[in-house]
Structure 1
């Protein structure tokens, strides 16, 4: 081995010892689901306003809205929903999503479709309330 290779090996070993494998990671997620407001817009088009505190990001609020849409589809006797749009706002720690879905008895066209039964089961497993 050359002197340069020895230095590289020593540096690699030193850096490997610096990895913080025992540093505890604090991930506290305490969602406070504050409710769902449902509005039938027209025919199969439904608007969901969900509010929660304790969200980590937009995805948590979007997931809450998806759970509400899936349960609503089942309540109406439909097996599927298709996501149209969602807007999320956060103010003072209170998160709000304004989501629109279509609901249908058959799998709708498009890539943003959900199987209502599967989504509701997943929501229950994660402790996310539905409608």
Structure 2
């Protein structure tokens, strides 16, 4: 009976030790799980921070690209304006050229008219001179 009590006491002591070990392991497991959870939360926070940084970088990059595009557009607009101005200058030059050609044509017509008038006068005055004996 004594032996049985001793055995029972020994088995109770072992059981208490194993219960303590189990509690320790479960506590260390829960601590490691909570630590890994907090690490994953920190990682997810850092990932979201890096995502927000990359988003802000992409936004600033797109803004600078749009600014470059607007500058390019304004440059193309100024180029088109200068092209329109040069076209209008060419048009005015061609109009001047056309006007000068018209003026030279009218000059040649007036010269031809004056020459024909002179020849008409000469042809009319020659028989008159012949009659007078000149």
* TM-score bucket of the superposed structures, by smaller chain: under 0.3
Bigger fraction of residues in helix: 2
Name which structure has the greater RCO, CA cutoff 8 Å, separation 6+: 1
- For the pair shown, the structure with the greater C-alpha radius of gyration is 2
Normalising by structure 1, report the TM-score: 0.20
